[in-house]
Amino acid sequence: MASKAERDAIKVAKVLMVGAGGIGCELLKTLVMSGFQDIELIDMDTIEVSNLNRQFLFRKKHVGQSKAQVAREAVLKFRPDAKIVAHHANVKDPQFDIDFIKRFTVVLNGLDNVEARRHVNRLCLAAGVPLVESGTTGYVGQADVHIKGRFTCFECYPPPPPKSFPTCTITNTPSQPVHCIVWAKELPFAKLFGEAGLANDLDMRSDDQAEEPLEEDTNWHRVKENETPTAYACRVFDKVFGHNVAKTLEMDDLWKNRQRPKPLYIDEVLPETSEPPAKRPRTEGANAGDEERSVSAASNLGLRDTNQVWSLQENARVFLESVRLFLEERASEIGSLRFDKDDTLAVEFVTSASNLRDISFGIQTQSLFAAKGIAGNIVHAIATTNAIVAGMIVIEATKIVTGQMDKLKTHWCEQFLRRKMLLWSIDPNPPNPKCYVCSDTPLFLEVDTNKATLGEVLQKIVKKKLAVVSPMVLFGNSILYETGDDLDEDEQRSYAANAAKVLSQFPTPIGHNSLVSIDDSQQDFRCTLHIVHRDVFDEEKEPDMMVLRGEIPAVKAGEGTANGTEAAEDDDDDLTIIDNAVQEVDAVQETSAKAGKRKRDEEDGDHGSRKKRLPEEKETEDVDTGVIDLL
């Protein structure tokens, strides 16, 4: 039981909450129930139907309304005396500057993306306000305390290398369902329905192996004159599951130590290809967009159970039917489609195509539900984990506002018993003296100074890698680049011209050993890039053609992580497919998990790696790019 002084401290503490989603709803409720009374919350989002299963402050009638506002109103109903200010806004907006943050005793994050977390981290470091960071992935969760100079900041340890698969595995030698799902999204789906002419790496590599004349091969995915949709679908089927697999069988070396795949041809799989099902009548009152999106091959074929694993014939029928439906019902979208996990027909196409490939290669097939989860990188959120983590955050916030700094802890919620425990807490780690965000460690940028432009450095490194929002670039005594509404036209023109300049072509050339300073006044973040000139880059492994290196110890792939990001398991090193969505989910967990994990491993002598935990409950997705970047 807290003393009167502690209860008073809790009452007057000013708390900023960022994010009013899964963790945020739990957090706001637990805060007010624990006596906190002065709270501001920021969330940029509106409520969606898919939030309702776990964001319990929201009801169906609130769909479309601001999360922050509705959360505030819901909590005021049972704690009318609380003072809650809701901001329906992005935390990166300039109004939430360092002075804004300084008004708070503590900041609590319930976010779902690394960029926003990094931004809040910098604001809190600059304002000198303690931050309690949190994250959950399925059954696994974590709450971490970050205090400048005392503990790690959110960015003290970099995220692990993202999940990757070698090209050869995807195009020729898949061995897991995920390989076939990546293939289905990136090859047949992208080729048949995606952006016209936008070849990707996988695509080019598969075409490399083709022996037919280029002209014929590059057009195989186009509908021929007088070809019916079903005839087209059958031809595509034979090409991708029959002919292409037969081609890879000719590469004898590949199969020395592997099971040989079996090509599939439509005549053998479905000797009597049935007539396409009759078109369903359009639903009264549905608008055209909704109606198009609800077109479903599986429903047309009576395959309504999304947990059912389809047979070979069922997969073949869904494949043919989904191709037919795209051609007949969604023709206007063909040529511009991107895979979207919420697009029923796209998921059906990808599920059936990946399952057919699974069957060819002797891999376990997946239900539509499971394939959708893998294809959309869906990690199913669990309301209980959010509630537990929200409790952990409030415990730490309480210690901070009551001055019990020596009692602060990092907490985990585990999926499996570890030393007979599901909940763990340890002392937070001290700051990483080599962190470029909270210390002055130098950063090195390896770049071809005779080719790269300042704009490329800004885009690929300063914004993407360093998460700087409004960069100012200083070199010697000159400002080379700046952003902001207050720039006059001349300045804008001059900075745009500088962005287009190659580094070595500035009046004082930027070359080997030059020092370029980056400053973001919004984040009160600054760092110096030590330029290292380098001519040669590996286009596949270093696709940015520039590499940022700090003294931050690199996290080895497979090193124990809460999310178990693992290194590519094949020997082939000729390609890396990075799944941004997986990376993002992983990074969230990993970044917050790592520091403490190391410490805990030291304590219990466990240096082994933990494996990925794939939860099975309620669906939520905190990233939905669904797009796999090819590096």
Please report how close the Cβ of residue 185 comes to ligand ATP at its closest, in angstroms. Answer: 20
Of these, 34, 50, 209, 521, which contacts ligand ATP (CB under 6 A)?
50
Smallest separation, CB 120 to Zn ion (Å): 13
**CA pair distance 363, 597, nearest whole angstrom:** 34
Q: Does 22 bind ligand ATP (CB under 6 A)?
A: yes
Residue of the chain from 9, 10, 17, 19 that contacts ligand ATP (CB under 6 A): 19
Nearer of residues 390 and 546 to ligand ATP, judged by Cβ: 390
Q: Return d(Cα 183, Cα 172) in angstroms, integer.
A: 10
For ligand ATP, the closer of residues 273 and 384 by Cβ is: 384
What part of residues 235-294 is at the interface with Zn ion (CB under 5 A)?
none
Q: Would strands 577-579 and 472-475 be described as parallel, antiparallel, or unpaired?
A: unpaired
Amino acid at 241: F
- Min dist CB 607 to Zn ion, Å, is 24
CB of 124 to Zn ion, least distance (A): 11
Contact partner, 387, from ligand ATP, Zn ion, none, Cβ < 5-8 Å per class: none
Q: Does residue 53 interact with ligand ATP by CB under 6 A?
A: no
**For Zn ion, which residue of 437, 518, 585, 623 counts as binding (CB under 5 A)?**
437
Q: Name the closest residue to ligand ATP (Cβ).
A: 21
Rounded to whole angstroms, the Cα distance separating 319 from 352 reads 5
Q: Which lies closer to ligand ATP via its Cβ, residue 414 or residue 621?
A: 621
Q: In whole angstroms, what is the distance from residue 48 CA to residue 195 CA?
A: 29
Give the amino acid at 213: P
Residues 95-154 that bind Zn ion (CB under 5 A): 153
116 annotated as belonging to a binding site for a ligand: yes
Q: Can residue 51 be called a binding residue for ligand ATP (CB under 6 A)?
A: yes
Instruction: Say which DSSP state 39 is in.
Output: E
> Is 126 in contact with 148 (CB distance < 8 Å)?
no
Q: Is 168 a catalytic residue?
A: yes
Lay out the sheet containing 38-42: strands in order across.
83-87, 38-42, 14-18, 106-109, 131-137, 140-146, 410-418, 421-426
91 near ligand ATP (CB under 6 A): yes
By beta-carbon proximity to ligand ATP, the closer residue of 187 and 381 is 381
Give how far Cα 362 sits from Cα of 181, 266, 384, Å: 14, 18, 37
Q: What separation, in Å, do the N-terminal and C-terminal C-alpha atoms of the chain show?
A: 55
As a whole number of Å, the CA-based R_g of the chain is 27
Q: Residue 52 annotated as binding? A: yes
Q: Is 209 in the site for ligand ATP (CB under 6 A)?
A: no
DSSP one-letter string for 578-599: EEHHHHHHHHHHHHHHHHHHHH
User: Residues with Cβ < 8 Å from 66, sequence gap 6 or more?
Assistant: 43, 45, 46, 47, 86, 88
Residues in the chain: 631
Nearer to Zn ion, 174 or 550 (CB): 550
Strand partners, 530: 444, 515
Q: Which of 408, 435, 469, 503 binds Zn ion (CB under 5 A)?
A: 435
Q: How many helices (H) and strands (E) does the chain have?
A: 22, 16
Give me the catalytic one of 25, 124, 168, 413: 168
Helix (H) or strand (E) holding 628: strand 628-630
Q: How many residues bind ligand ATP (CB under 6 A)?
A: 23
3-state secondary structure of 328: helix
The single residue among 17, 28, 62, 67 that binds ligand ATP, judged by CB under 6 A, is 67
Size of the site for Zn ion (CB under 5 A): 5
Residue 168 contact, options Zn ion, ligand ATP, none, Cβ 5-8 Å cut-off depending on partner type: none
Please name the amino acid found at residue 400.
I
389 near 136, Cβ under 8 Å? yes
Tell whether residue 24 is among the known ligand binding residues. Answer: yes
Residues that bind Zn ion (CB under 5 A): 153, 156, 435, 437-438
Q: Please state the residue numbers annotated as binding site.
A: 19-24, 43, 51-54, 67, 112-117, 153, 156, 435, 438
Q: Please state the residue numbers annotated as binding site for ATP.
A: 19-24, 43, 51-54, 67, 112-117
Residues that bind ligand ATP (CB under 6 A): 19-22, 24, 42-45, 50-51, 67, 90-92, 111-113, 116, 381, 620-622
Report, as residue numbers or ranges, the catalytic residues.
168
